[in-house]
Amino acid sequence: MNTKLALAAIALWALPAWAGEAPFRLAPLPYPPEALEPHIDRQTMEIHHGRHHRAYVDNLNAQVASQPELAGLSLEELQGKISKFNAAVRNNGGGHYNHALFWQLLAPPGKGGAPSRELGAAIDRDFGSLEKLKALFGQAAVGRFGSGWAWLVVTPGGKLAITSTPNQDNPRMDVVEQRGEPILALDVWEHAYYLKYQNRRADYVAAFWHLVNWAEVSRRFAAASPPPAR
Ligand code: MN3
């Protein structure tokens, strides 16, 4: 056995017992951790993804031992049934879903494109303009007391709406007031911005608009919207 194989064997042996069947996994970031600079710094991304997000995944997988029905659910399905589970599943299942989504909704500065024609029309219809959407979303993000998230969602009625949730809750959960399909998200936990922005959450929220992956937001909008009436 060569050295690499031997090391791999040892690494497998050292994993916790549930790891062989751990249903949830941490995907790599879709860009290098420094790609969002100067708006979000490399160290924040490394800690946020590699430690905070990883902990949500590990803690969620640890719950599978006592709640085997968890293993049969996709991450998306779990959100809609979150009321059936304990607080650890709600916090870590939400944390995993929210972060996995958040990374995809960001792009390096100048790489995020613009809202699709259809999304742009819906933004004008429901908010008046993209600038007004940004102002209202920013108010939701800055106004969320303590830790939580701001969201742009497609409601069950097919409208765009802005909402915010505490902790790791999200609009897919069957426990929140304003439900919908999230198409844009912003993490306003201090761990998301404190190293660079300290207490200046509003500056972090303003910088976020340089990083929005509008191509991905538009894709999610199209997938979440009912087909146009004929
Ligand atoms: Mn976070």
The predicted-structure confidence for 35-55, as pLDDT tens digits, reads as follows 999 999 999 999 999 999 999
Cβ-in-10-Å burial (0-12, 13-18, 19+) of 68 comes to: exposed
CA–CA distances in Å: residue 132 to residues 57, 116, 123, 126, 128: 35, 17, 9, 10, 6
Tens of pLDDT, residues 78-117: 999 999 999 999 999 999 999 999 999 999 999 999 999 9
Centre of ligand 1 to C-alpha 46, Å, is 11
pLDDT (average), residues 200-228: 95
Centre of ligand 1 to C-alpha 16, Å, is 25
Centre of ligand 1 to C-alpha 6, Å, is 36
pTM of the model: 0.90
For residue 88, what are its two tokens? 């650890």
pLDDT (average), residues 149-165: 97
Just give the CATH number of 117-224.
3.55.40.20
**C-beta pairs of 126-130 under 8 Å, 24+ apart in sequence:** 126/159, 126/160, 126/161, 127/160
Centre of ligand 1 to C-alpha 191, Å, is 6
**Sequence spans of domains, the chain:** 117-224
In the structure, ligand 1 is a single-atom ion and the residues with CB under 5 Å from it are 187, 189, 192
Q: Of 32, 26, 52, whose CA–CA distance to 194 is shortest?
A: 52
